[in-house]
Structure 1
Amino acid sequence: MEDSLGSDSVPSGPIDKNKVFSIKPLRCLVPIFPSQGGSGPSSTQQSPFAFVSPTGPFPPGAAQFFPFVSPTPNESPIQRQTASVPDNGKSYAIPSPVPLNSFRTPISAPPPDNGAKGTTTTTTMTTTAPTATRRSSKNVIPYDEGYTQSDGYENGFTIDTEDSGDAIKRKRKIRKTVKGSQAVAVSSSEVDIDPLVNHILKSFRLVEIDTILQADSNHELVQRVVLVYNLLRRKITQLDDAKGVIPGISRRADLRSGTILMNKGARVNTKRRVGSVPGVDIGDVFFFRMELCLVGLHAPIMAGIDYLSFKVSGDEEPIAVSIVSAGGYEDEEDDGEVIIYSGQGGVQRSDKLLMDQKLERGNLALEKSLHRGNEVRVVRGLKDGTSATGKVYVYDGLYKIHESWIEKGKSGCNVFKYKLIRVSGQPEGFMLWKSIQQWRDGVTARVGVILPDLTSGAENLPICLVNDVDSEKGPAYFTYLPSLKYAKPYGTSKSLSCRCSNGCQPASPCPCVEKNNGYLPYSSTGILLSHNLIVHECGPSCLCPPSCRNRVSQTGLKLRLEVFRTKNKGWGLRSWDPIRAGAFICEYAGEVITESGIDSDDNYVFDAGRVFDPLELVPTDEPVKIPFPLVVSAKNKGNVGRFMNHSCSPNVYWQPIMRENEEESYLHVGLYAIKHIGPLQELTFNYGVPRVEKKGIVKKKCLCGSSNCKGFFY
């Protein structure tokens, strides 16, 4: 009898109360769906209760179910932290229930508040962040990239890292689970990267962050954390690549680097909150779920619904604070300003069995937020064009839940549906992405286009010339040149060429790999993994194909760029596509000249001998050493790189690239993304400072507008 009362089942027949010795309280009643045929547990279970159907409106096909009162989600939180929810520096009071169109509550009869009528209830928030669990004095972070919007974080695989402060070492200790037929490795080699981690954190001032600033951060600190995360992730990726491919093992540098930073305390916005997150702007892009967690935008690194538990009159109740709408469910849809969001659950991880969703955890939190009327952050997960399985995550601002119901999904099981409408008055977010897609598809025309392709077919992608600011018809005439033009190459000692007929591979006896200190400089998706060093790409005499991953800068543009008219800086450059940190954008092309040939009126000169601020701070802190002088003039002949303006806080940096052919060497200038860059954000880099101030060099007024602006540039 005790077991029966402690489970979800209900005994039939009369109950002999004399035989009842102890009773387990029911913390949460699950909804019981009437049998409607089909497969799944809900189809075979008959409800023993007599109940009256709710009188509220139901969409066609919505299923009835037994309502219940104020359940508390059954979960395993990583920590229980009580704090008030801030709202622009003020205490945030959870709104009282309001009349809503809900599948549980008639629109004419809102549920009673737990507090006194006519008063605002004092609200205390308790964090429930399923990002890690304390287990055997270790931090365990579950993750499963394949299920971006389910709450199987209790069933996913785990990452174990020693909970010993700075003594985190990459050990040959692998815990793995099987996802389909592929095992996932969650640790790495014996290489100790802790000194590198500590050095980077110290250099970027992320050691012992001020606790007040860490709780409520700013944009500059948020950007630093994401930058350091990507530097570390790319370094771990490069070290993993050097070990070669292990059949059946998928390494997760994104998870390991995030785990290291979390254990080091290098994270921001640690105070959980309802509403917007300080330092995160609408339109900001992220390429990894761990980034959302590190900046405090969305705590779970797998589940699509993030929620908090708060206490009202002694009772706990969950509310949703953010969702990731990543298209993880078959019935999910939206039109830009309105999202029809499918609830989570309904899939057994082990055997992929489909079943009815339950009104618990994240689903229950969304239902409570519907009644409370609180704002919910929305992160949209879109397909990443550079990766077959990857996604790019865009923060789209605040929404409110206006309606909920149940309907049969395409799988035949009951699915919870929630209608979210974007709060008015916010900057443009996802709608910008929709507009760009319509330009691509030819549905609508790009406003202000002067030339559809200023390259006249010289690039593999068209680059349009756009002016929606003034009446200027275009820049001064120049000849489009997609790459550097050398009068003659530099002579060097004979260099070995690779014989990699299938393309250069990591951990292979390849001379091009050896030139890069034993590592391939690029990832398999073309992301640069090394910085402030000369990248040795395969040259003309190498036998590897054009698709070799060590020829990234030689294969042309991968991004749809446009030259546009700025408000006060002449012409500039930006991209229709989101750009991942470390991605190749374009070369700085033009004619190679001598220093003596520099024209004082030439505003399109790139001098590799200038001093540039370092970006990745490695333990040696050695400056970049150019093997021979390189000065490029793009005044008369050049490519889109000539339109990239100066900034004291740039989002692009230059990288020297060496290509060798027998006894000849060609040095090129590659332009790469420092950080993630959203669509239509201007691309800028730092023009550097001359090593020796020469006569005739004039300081120009800088109009970059950044908080770090020096007021001038050369």
Structure 2
Amino acid sequence: MEENNNNTVHASDSVDKSRIVEAKPLRSLAPVLPNHIQSCFPANYPSGFPPFCSFEKPREIPIPKGVEEIAVDAKTAEEIPGSAKEKTRETPVAANVTPIRFYKSSVDEEVNPRGGGDVNLFSKGLNCDEFVDDRVKRGAQNIQNCKEFLKRKKNKKTREAGVDGQSSSVGVNPSLNDDGNHESVNHVLMTFDSVRRRLCQLEDSKELNSSLSIKRADLRASNSLTLKGVKTNLRRRAGAVPGIEVGDIFFFRMEMCLVGLHGQSMGGIDYMSIKDGSKEDTVALSVVSSGVYGDDTEDNDVLVYSGQGENFNKKDKHVTDQKLQRGNLALDRSAQRHDEVRVIRGLRDATNRSAKIYMYDGLYKIQDSWIERGKSGGGIFKYKLVRLPGQKSAFAAWKLIQKWKSGSASRNGFILADLSNGVESIPVSLVNDVDDERGPAFFTYFMSLTKPKPFGLVQPSLGCNCKASCLPGDLNCSCIQRNEGDFPYTANSILVSRKPLIHECGTMCRCLPNCKNRVSQTGLKQHVEVFKTRDRGWGLRTLDPIRAGSFICEYAGEVIDRAKVCQNDEGDNDEYIFDTSRIYQPFKWNHDHGLLGDGSSNVSSEDYTIPSPLIISAKNVGNVGRFMNHSCSPNVFWQPVLYAENNQSFLHIAFFALKHIPPMAELTYDYGFVLAGHAEGSSAHRRKMKCLCESPKCRGFFG
């Protein structure tokens, strides 16, 4: 092999890769199970938290016509005496073991879908093997035990299928399991994060059972969804994935697994086997670049990806070369076939340096490959991937934003560095690259409410007595008691659940100003900018990736009487009105107790409980919240928050991220609408405006 000065050898130079790697046929990589291993689930694994062995869809047994299916979850299977789980060690080893499932006929009798209805042939019919008589008897006994157990089971809600054959409320429509869409992807991601947030809350308060406690809430949340079938895009594929757009962000790898973007929870290369004529081949589907192996280049549309595998044997202390197998082999084959490969880019999370944020950067093709000597001297495969033209800018825009924030790059349409004039701890830029307008109408920037009206829900003497900071799980804290015993935020200030009313600590509390229960009182935490839209006036967008549940801002302004709103009939309309009594589209954001299995019977309501209508005008006084436009499919929602100031309690409106929001995305919320005959009077019909959100769920108007 002949090397150049860079210690690299390009594919175009006709490299003989066999001289540095051991090429093996793909079939040699198939796992060989010893006889004593009967299942990928260890028998002594903690109950309720099975490991994930694969993200592929389990094989389904066809259900006979007219037969009712009874779903048996993992927890139920553990409680069944003499169940198949107890007989795991006696099950013959098979390449693909189909899990036992029970079907109930109209005569309350288990039916074998492959054995003509003969109960005694149930186990035999499942695997099509000739079982000895004693095993057939044990299988029949297991069925009888299950039958008796299921009759004793009182709570059928978690086992039975939904109404009219549809999936349960937390699941995914069966028609979208293999090939999803935007709605199914959004549902899975929001469901995952709701469970993860709740697990973090329980972990913070030490309420998790010690045998189930786990630091990685994302792993346990993923397992819960996998067991319940809350996944989409299960069909493995090359190219684009339905429902996932270029520029979408993910805070956990498990999110990408659940929606079919990248099937490896840890591996950087996802691949699959395909039939290529008469032979079987392997191709790459996607790669995740973590940004720690020198993969990034000056050209953000080019990725130089390092192959997988150690190139230094720590045990024997000698240099080794990466081998042309698994993901490396898949990338090599995809390069020869000119296949499209999905690329996910990773960057450090600015709010948590130990974590990463992943962005889907679209489709790439492998243009070149070579072998490069690593620092240890071993051979490393390198693959040059080039982004396909015509795709939305994603990672390149993200990198450009970082340059804008650091001041190392100029931008078109830039007007003002800080619209808040130093009121916010993070500057708010003002940009217009659409027309010549130099900015919105004059207003006074203020972070909260002016002329607020007190609400007599909380007496000043009831402030908490916490010395430093309120601690999750401390039921002696009066503020936690008012929040139904739960601390409303996680350790990193993420809202856990929507509540009828959230109680935060105020000036009468003895805890310090940096208490975690004062999230909505501390101003902006993300870089945002006010920008001119093409058809909806001024808007607000984020320059940072925002995690679901993050605080955005308060709706600041002047608290006004309803009578003053009605006066707009004779004057100019106030377009900056926020009214809590309007009708808002309902939505579910909190976790489902059936998914989590936390044993809680109190399902928190997501319907707001507001003492009396609150109307805020941000026309003359306000903050960035006044620039958020309406959308029928918003990415931000509002939450009423109550806390004490100067011996009185005041209601505030706080905005939180409904879902993960990528950089440069516009921030929108639902303005709601006023019903005919509402107390706002004849001005109600005047404020109805045509909606321009263009979302699939657009109702056509707002206000």
Provide the secondary structure at the position in 1 that maps to 2:51: strand
- Give the total of aligned pairs: 569
Task: Work out whether 1:449 is the aligned partner of 2:405.
Answer: no
Residue 240 (structure 2) aligns with: 276
2:20 is the alignment partner of 1:65: yes
Give deviations 1:521-561, integer Å, cap 9, x for gaps. 11111110021431111111222223221111122211111
Matches of 1:387 and 1:66, distance apart in 2: 39
| Alignment partner, residue 300 of structure 1 | 264
Match of 2:463 among 482, 491, 497: 497
Residues in 2 aligned to 1:55 and 1:252: alpha-carbon distance in whole angstroms: 41
Change (3 A) 1:507 1:436: same
Partner of 2:673: 689
The answer to whether the 8 A contact 2:413-2:433 is kept is yes
Distance in 2 between residues matched to 1:235 and 1:198, nearest whole Å: 25
Query: Cα–Cα, structure 1 residues 214 and 658, in superposed 2: closer, same or farther, change >3 Å?
Result: same
The alignment status of 1:219 with 2:216, answered yes or no, reads no
Cα deviation digits, residues 194-250 of structure 1 (max 9, x gap): 979999999995546233x32222112211221222122212222232226989975
User: C-alpha distance in 2, partners of 1:204/1:642?
Assistant: 39
Q: Which amino acid aligns with 1:688?
A: G
Contact 1:495 1:660 in 2 (8 A): no
2:526 and 2:515 mapped to 1: Cα distance?
19
Unmatched segments (≥5 aa) in structure 1:
1-32, 34-52, 79-131, 144-162, 173-192
Cα 1:688/1:537, change in 2 over 3 Å: same
Describe how 1:155-234 pairs up with structure 2 within 5 A.
165-166=72-73, 168=75, 206-207=170-171, 209-211=173-175, 213-234=176-197
d(CA) in 1 for partners of 2:386, 2:279: 29
Residue type at the aligned position of 1:498: C
Instruction: Report the TM-score, using the length of structure 2 for normalisation.
Output: 0.74
Q: 2:397 aligns with which of 424, 428, 432?
A: 432
Q: Spell out, residue by residue over 1:388-415, the C-alpha distance to the aligned partner (whole angstroms, 9 max, x if none).
A: 2121111111111122222222344332
Residue 641 of structure 1, CA deviation: 0.2
> Structure 1 residues 690 and 260, CA, compared in 2 at 3 Å: closer, same or farther?
same
Check whether the contact 1:133–1:139 (CA below 8 A) recurs between aligned residues.
Answer: no
Q: Which runs of 5+ in 2 are unaligned?
A: 2-8, 34-38, 55-69, 80-154, 591-602
Q: In the alignment, is the contact (CA less than 8 A) between 2:419 and 2:430 conserved in 1?
A: yes
Question: What residue in structure 2 maps to residue 658 of structure 1?
Answer: 642
2:621 alignment partner, one of 637, 651, 655:
637
Task: Find the aligned partners of 2:451 and 2:576 in 1 and give their Cα distance.
Answer: 17
SS where residue 52 of structure 2 aligns?
A: strand
Report matched runs for 1:398-547 at 5 Å.
398-492=363-457, 493-508=459-474, 509-547=476-514
For residues 304-339 of structure 1, the C-alpha deviation after alignment (integer angstroms, 9 at most, x for no partner) is 100011233554321111000112436665631111
For 1:197 and 1:654, the matched residues in 2 are separated by 35
CA deviation map 1:258-297 (0-9, x unaligned): 2121222221111111111111111111111111111111
Give, as a single letter, the amino acid of the residue that structure 2 aligns with 1:490.
F
Letter in 2 for 1:708: K
In the aligned structure 2, how far is the partner of 1:408 from the partner of 1:536? 59
In the superposition, relative to structure 1, how do residues 384 and 683 fare at CA in structure 2: closer, same or farther (>3 Å)?
A: same
Shift of residue 343, structure 1, vs aligned partner: 1.2
1:165–1:263: 8 Å Cα contact kept in structure 2?
no
Contact 2:309 2:323 in 1 (8 A): yes
| Larger mean Cα displacement after TM superposition, 422-431 or 667-676 | 422-431
Q: Distance in 2 between matches of 1:504 and 1:347?
A: 49
Report if aligned partners of 2:233, 2:260 keep a CA contact under 8 Å in 1: yes
Name the counterpart of 2:692.
Answer: 703
How far apart, in 2, do the equivalents of 1:326 and 1:194 lie? 44
Asked if 1:240 is matched to 2:203, the reply is yes
* Residues 487, 301 of structure 1: alpha-carbon distance in 2 compared, 3 angstrom cutoff: closer
- 1:141 and 2:52 matched: yes
Percent of residue pairs bearing the same amino acid type? 46
User: 2:580 touches 2:615 (CA, 8 Å); kept in 1?
Assistant: yes
Task: Decide whether the 8 Å contact of 1:274 with 1:375 is kept in 2.
Answer: yes
Deviation at 1:582, TM superposition (A): 0.8
The 2-side partners of 1:200 and 1:551 are apart by: 41
SS of the equivalent of 1:389 reads strand
* Residue 363 (structure 2) pairs with residue 374 (structure 1): no
Query: 2:112 — aligned with what?
Result: none
In 1: Cα distance, 2:461 partner to 2:315 partner:
55
Q: For residues 32 and 244 of structure 2, what CA distance do their matches in structure 1 show?
A: 25
1:696: how far off? 1.5
Which among 546, 555, 558 is matched to residue 579 of structure 1?
546
Greater Cα offset, 503-512 or 645-654: 503-512
In structure 1, how many angstroms separate the alpha carbons of the residues matched to 2:414 and 2:671?
Answer: 28
Q: Please state which structure has a larger fraction of its residues in helix.
A: 2
AA aligned to 1:629 is P
- Asked whether 1:396 is paired with 2:357, we answer no
1:384 aligned partner, one-letter code: D
Q: What are the superposed Cα offsets for residues 692-713 of structure 1, whole Å, 9 maximum, x if unpaired? A: 6232212111111111111111
Alpha-carbon distance change, 230 to 513 in structure 1, aligned in 2, over 3 angstroms: same
CA contact (8 A) 2:588 2:606 kept: no
Cα offsets for 1:654-704 (capped at 9, x unmatched): 001111258521111110111111111111101123366232212111111
CA distance in 1, matches of 2:642, 2:41: 49
Give the TM-score normalised by structure 1. Answer: 0.73
Distance in 1 between residues matched to 2:609 and 2:11, nearest whole Å: 76
Residue 553, structure 1, aligned to residue 530, structure 2? no
Tell me by how many angstroms 1:571 deviates. Answer: 0.7
Does the CA contact (< 8 Å) of 1:589 and 1:632 recur in 2? yes
Q: Name the counterpart of 1:612.
A: 584
The Cα RMSD (Å) is 3.7
**Separation (CA, whole Å) in 1 of partners of 2:643 and 2:315:** 51
